[in-house]
């Protein structure tokens, strides 16, 4: 996969922390750009928000139409049938962004990996298999697509993980969010689980919770 194009927003000069936030199917990196002011981060915090743009590819469940996607979804049954090879390739491409942040002086333990829906599945693959400790991982309205194939690393067993899901989600049913929590706990992780009375989207209360999570994970004061 070619290097990912990204939208980069710094909340201050010389950022010493970063959040890599992956969008969902058919969207782009601008999707979550508007939430930054609503996270309630300290004015003194210098955080680099990186919103990668997924490449365009044919998506089977949408009649083979080309659209921004992190991987192909071949069937929309409760147990998603996805192109695992493409998902892992996307995770690897996002890993390259971590490498570039290292070169800029931002260490792994100052980086949060996040994603919504498809992007969350990639975030889980990357974050739970990453060999160095990260600052945090959060997944929104998503599922653990590679639970049966991932090679889990021990480095992030104690890393804060936040999982948020809408109780009325018709696209990614909440049962998949609960299942992700169960699988992670069985693997030794300690995810926090929050639900909201919404469909396949985010709400202000959820965004504020993410802000609390980021302030704690990145020790922002």
Residues with active-site annotation: 117, 169, 200
State pTM to two decimals: 0.97
Q: 10-59, pLDDT tens digit by residue? A: 999 999 999 999 999 999 999 999 999 999 999 999 999 999 999 999 99
Q: What is the DSSP string of 117-182?
A: THHHHHHHHHHHH-SS--SEEEEES---TTTTT----GGGTTS-EEEEEETT-SSS-HHHHHHHHH
What is the rounded average pLDDT of the residues 195-207?
Answer: 98
pLDDT of residue 78 exceeding 70, the answer is no
Judge whether 164 lies within some domain: yes
pLDDT of residue 177 exceeding 90, the answer is yes
pLDDT score of 75: 85
Judge whether 63 lies within some domain: yes
pLDDT of residue 96 exceeding 80, the answer is yes
Residue 82, token pair as written in the block: 């996805």
What is the rounded average pLDDT of the residues 189-218?
Answer: 98
Judge whether 1 lies within some domain: no
Give yes or no for a contact between 126 and 32, defined as CB atoms under 8 angstroms apart: no
Containing domain of residue 38, as a range? Answer: 6-217
Average pLDDT over the chain, rounded to whole? 96
Judge whether 50 lies within some domain: yes
CATH classification at residue 190:
3.40.50.1820
């Amino acid at each position: 996969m070619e290097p990912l194009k990204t939208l980069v927003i710094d909340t201050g000069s010389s950022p010493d922390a970063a959040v890599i936030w992956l969008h969902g199917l058919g969207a782009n990196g601008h999707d979550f750009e508007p939430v930054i002011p609503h996270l309630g981060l300290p004015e003194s915090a210098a955080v680099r928000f990186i919103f990668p743009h997924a490449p365009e590819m044919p998506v089977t469940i949408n009649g083979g139409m080309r659209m921004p996607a992190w991987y192909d979804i071949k069937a929309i049954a409760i147990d998603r049938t996805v192109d695992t090879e493409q998902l892992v390739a996307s995770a690897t491409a996002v890993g390259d962004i971590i490498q570039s942040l290292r070169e800029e002086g931002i260490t792994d333990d100052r980086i949060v990996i996040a994603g919504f829906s498809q992007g969350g599945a990639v975030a889980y693959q990357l974050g739970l298999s990453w060999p160095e400790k990260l600052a945090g991982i959060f997944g929104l309205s998503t599922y653990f697509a590679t639970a049966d194939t991932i090679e889990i690393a021990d480095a992030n067993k104690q890393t804060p993980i936040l999982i948020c899901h809408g109780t009325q989600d018709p696209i990614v049913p909440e049962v998949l969010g609960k299942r992700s929590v169960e699988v992670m706990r069985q693997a030794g992780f300690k995810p926090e689980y929050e639900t909201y009375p919404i469909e396949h989207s985010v709400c202000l209360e959820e965004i504020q919770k993410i802000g609390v999570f980021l302030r704690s994970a990145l020790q922002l004061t």
